[in-house]
Amino acid sequence: MNRTASTSAALTLAVILTATGSIRAQPGAHGPGPESDSVRIERTVARLTQELSLTKQQESQVRPVVERNLRAMRQGMQSHAGDPDSMRAVRIRQMEKMDREIESLLTDGQKEAFDRFRRERQQRRRDQNGPPPGNG
């Protein structure tokens, strides 16, 4: 291979590798990173629908509750960026508000399932993040 062809091949490879890295870094691409609000909303509603056996009517009532609260949580956390304690407080406060609103739409049997769902969610968070500051 001559020098020009070798240089051209190296440049092509560099462009491909750079483009691949840029694509993976885009929000919503495969791999770790924050998911979009719409993806998180759909995932949350689908999980609640499955876990609580929501009716179509309940699902249509729960969706705007999830949308409103997850967006408010993201905005609140962004306004407190750089302050982990404040961000955690915003997240907890907004999740509690959302949980109350969802619970008001459920039957008694679904409320019991929702309590289990919340306990499992809290346990997953503890497992991922460790104990809250000052507890351990």
| Any domain includes 62 | yes
Per the structure, the complete domain to which residue 83 belongs is given by 36-129
Does 34 have pLDDT greater than 70? Answer: no
Tokens standing for 9? 């091949």
Compute the average pLDDT of residues 108-113: 95
| Any domain includes 92 | yes
Number of domains making up the chain: 1
| Any domain includes 3 | no
The dihedral of CA 91, 92, 94, 100: what is its sign?
positive
For the chain, percent helix, then strand, then coil, each to nearest 5?
75, 0, 25
- What single-letter DSSP state applies at residue 32? S
Q: CA 123, CA 3: separation in Å to the nearest integer? A: 60
Least confident interval from 15-24, 73-82, 88-97 = 15-24
pLDDT tens across 47-65, in order? 999 999 999 999 999 999 9
Identify the residue whose tokens are 């306990």.
119
